[in-house]
Amino acid sequence: MNHLDKLRLWGKSIRVMASKHQAVQLPKEGQPDAGLTRDYSQNPLHRFKKPGSKNYQNIYPPSATLHLSNIPSTIAEEDIRDAFVKNSFDVKAFKFFPKDRKMALLQLGSVEEAVLALIKMHNYQLSESNHLRVSFSKSNI
């Protein structure tokens, strides 16, 4: 909540705060809800649900530099750059980790653009069995 409150997204500032409600009431099976209520608690894309886990310890505030992981060895820098450009992102810099080419840093032009890229590119299919993992980085390129 601290990292996302007042963040600019789609040209507007978003507000994030704790709800006064202790639980979300999901609609009963078969009841219409106009698609407004979903349970994401068991979603495998949720990397930060286990306090103290390696992922949980690497939560950083939004920045223009993204940390990319789960990159297969068959993927080149140009492939990753092209995937971001194809999705309308302007890549300013890119660097594989020196000792582990499964991870890289990618820099975009602004924090807002990086937030949009994280939304769009997390779980992007890089190969038949690899989906890109995207998070904010504490490092710069």
Domain interval for residue 124: 60-136
pLDDT above 90: percentage of residues in the chain:
63
Does 65 reside within a domain?
A: yes
User: HSE on the CB side for 97, CA within 13 Å?
Assistant: 15
Q: Which residue has the higher pLDDT, 50 or 137?
A: 137
User: What band does 46 get if pLDDT is binned at 50, 70 and 90?
Assistant: confident
Tell me, yes or no, whether 10 lies in a domain.
Answer: no
Q: Is residue 67 part of a domain?
A: yes
Q: What is the pLDDT of residues 57-92, one digit of tens each?
A: 778 999 999 999 999 999 999 999 999 999 999 999
Per-residue pLDDT at 134 exceeds 90: yes
- Number of structural domains (the chain) is 1
String of DSSP letters for the chain: -TTTTT-EETTEE------S-SS--PPPTT---TT-----TT-TT-TT-STTSTTGGG-----SEEEEE---TT--HHHHHHHHHHTT--EEEEEEETTEEEEEEEEES-HHHHHHHHHHHTT-B-SSS-B-EEEE-S---
Residue 75: the pLDDT is 96
The first and second tokens of residue 99, run together, are 């000792």
| Lowest model confidence (mean pLDDT) among 16-25, 66-75, 130-139 | 16-25
Q: Does the residue 75 lie in any domain?
A: yes
Encode burial over 21-44: b for 16+ CB neighbours within 10 A, e otherwise: eeeeeeeeeeeeeeeeeeeeeeee
Q: In the prediction, which pLDDT does 116 show? A: 96
Instruction: Tell me what the pLDDT averaged over the chain comes to.
Output: 90
Instruction: Give mean pLDDT, residues 115-132.
Output: 95
Query: Which residues on neighbouring strands pair with residue 131, listed in sequence order?
Result: 125
Q: Which of 29-33, 118-122, 126-130 has the lowest mean pLDDT?
A: 29-33
Return the CATH number at 73: 3.30.70.330
